[in-house]
Homo-oligomer: A and B are copies of this chain.
Amino acid sequence: MIAPTRDHFEALKAIVGDKGLLVPAGSGAGVETDIGTGGSDLAVYESCVRYGRGQAAFVVRPASSAETSQVLAYCQAAGITLIPQSGNTGLVGASTPDPSGTQGVLSFDRLLGTVESATQGSGNIIFDEENRSVTVGAGVRLSDLNAFLAPKGYVFPIDLGADPRIGGMIATNTGGARFLRYGDVRQNTLGVKVVLADAQGTELDLMSGLRKDNTGIDWKHLFIGTTGVLGVVTEAELNVVRLPQQTTAALLVPRDEAAVLKLLLEMEERCDTNLTAFEGMSAAAISAAFDHVPSLRNPFPNGEIPDYVLLVELSRTWAKRESEQSLDELMEVVLAEIWEDEDAPDQDGPLENAFIGRPEEMWALRHALSEGVKHAGKLVAFDVSFCRGDLMKFRAFMATELPKKFQNVRICDFGHVGDGGLHFNLSISNDDPRLNDANFIPSLRNWVVKIVVEKYHGSFSAEHAIGRSNQSFYDDYTPEKVKKLAAGLKALTSAGELGAVKLG
């Protein structure tokens, strides 16, 4: 790979126009900035929210699929490496350049719509109410999409703490806190337009908008969750759903660890798809949130935080009718049923305590966990997942075994019990001398992931895909056969004129 020079900048500027290109000061093309200087105002393109600090050779910002195609074709021919970057809210180093200063950032900032002139706000979102779908540019932010949909009574139902752009959500196949009811991005993607990284920057239009269509390979799935490696998604057609009009939430205290899954099955049976979230929060994570987000109210009696707390939410898309039970009442009835279960009298039932309250307050606590654990010390974070029944078993194993292997490492996890996803966070005191040892955190990370994958058959990346942070785990835990297939597919999608592909 080469270090891009002024000639390259001129060529890119000819494709995307002056304001589509950010270059280091003195480069004489595009918008000259302090990109690549290390102290940049535009550091947002060079580092992730939580990890990574790289140096960009330039930032190219195409405003359409066609421009993206030309940019990819040009960079492919010139031997320039591009790192696709969407909202840059990921946590695994997938969207920022390395420190070499030779990589360009392909930003989705201006991929705002299907009309090339759409360059701001929510861009040119096309809403098809009859099909319950929207067509959006990859650069549209989730919050902008939902602000556009809300007055119409709809929402794109992927609920995240961050505010990514749609392209990145597709590239990582995010799931979030309401997966249990709505599924992940993949399940809500009806079509994509994608540009391959081949010599032509081949555009594939896979935008049918159809819900049932089985006329061959469903190609869009290759570009969902694969971080742009096989092609860059520039537009998407997405499923949307009715915005909930009634919501109620409760904090449940399970009797013990085994009670957590019992409560999940009970709630699913008794509430069906009214159940829109079933989240788990450890005492350590809750405590860190209270310490660092003072506006939160502690809802527990005497302020005593239980060992583990579940946030359960019910919702419905219609306003409560006079003739029917409210969701608050349903929640009360359901919790009473679980409480009074004849098979498991009070003292032995799965529920130790429950608090029904304002959903906003409970979600404020849930969403503050991430901020809290960030401030509690040096954070070593994992985004892992399990078959649902294994999540609590993994936690129990770690509570016992981690201290034997790594002393003074605090577990402050939370996650999505309803879908098996776990944000397994470890916190280390900032003045711990082991942090001076460059091998300490890698060895801790390797040990945890080994337990996740080998002992519990879990995933080392539930919803952040592969980035630099996960590359070594991909290398270690992907079967050789699968790696060879992936290499073959990568070669196929980047082989230039597709007709030139030779196999066997």
A residues neighboring B (CB under 8 Å): 128-133, 153, 172-173, 175, 179, 181, 183-184, 186-187, 202, 204-205, 208-219, 221-222, 224-226, 230, 242, 261, 264-265, 268-273, 316-318, 321, 323-325, 329-330, 333, 385-389, 416, 419-421, 457-466, 470, 473-474, 477-479, 481-482, 484-489, 491-493, 495-496, 498-504
Contacts and interface: CB of A to CB of B under 8 A. Distances in A.
A242 B272 contact: yes
Number of copies: 2
Contact of A321 (B333, B419, B492): B333
B470 A270 contact: no
Contacts of A492: 485, 488-489, 492, 503
Nearest to A332: B323
A8 to B, nearest CB: 24
A261 B129 CA distance: 10
16 contacts: A130-B387, A131-B387, A208-B457, A209-B387, A210-B387, A211-B421, A212-B421, A214-B225, A216-B486, A217-B222, A217-B225, A242-B268, A269-B317, A501-B504, A502-B502, A502-B503
Of A458, A462, A498, most buried by chain B (CB within 10 Å of CB) is A498
Nearest to A213: B459
Given A217-B489, A478-B215, A386 B210 contact: yes
Given A210-B459, A214-B463, A484-B498, 13 more contacts: A128-B387, A130-B389, A173-B218, A204-B482, A209-B457, A211-B420, A213-B459, A214-B225, A215-B473, A216-B226, A216-B486, A273-B273, A502-B504
A236 B213 CA distance: 21
A492 B459 CA distance: 26
Contact of A265 (B130, B202, B389, B499): B130
A272 B214 contact: no
Contacts of A264: 130
Contact of A329 (B323, B489, B503): B323
A491 B504 CA distance: 7
A470 B213 CA distance: 13
A150 B477 CA distance: 37
A318 B270 contact: yes
Nearest to A175: B212
A369 to B, nearest CB: 18
Given A128-B389, A388-B132, A503-B491, A272 B316 contact: yes
A123 to B, nearest CB: 21
Given A265-B129, A466-B216, A323 B325 contact: yes
A205 B215 CA distance: 25
Given A214-B464, A216-B466, A503 B488 contact: yes
A503 B495 contact: yes
Contact of A500 (B271, B478, B504): B504
A486 to B, nearest CB: 6
Given A211-B419, A212-B421, A385-B211, A485 B498 contact: yes
B216 A482 contact: yes
A311 to B, nearest CB: 18
B214 A459 contact: yes
Contacts of A132: 268, 388
Nearest to A465: B214
Contacts of A317: 268-269, 272
A230 B325 CA distance: 51
Nearest to A473: B215
Contacts of A242: 268-269, 272
B179 A187 contact: no
Contacts of A131: 387-389, 420
A498 B488 contact: yes
A474 B479 CA distance: 34
A268 B244 CA distance: 12
A458 to B, nearest CB: 7
Contacts of A488: 492, 495, 498, 501, 503
Given A325-B324, A388-B132, A217 B226 contact: yes
Contacts of A130: 261, 264-265, 387-389
A153 B131 CA distance: 33
A322 to B, nearest CB: 10
A218 B225 contact: yes
A218 B329 CA distance: 41
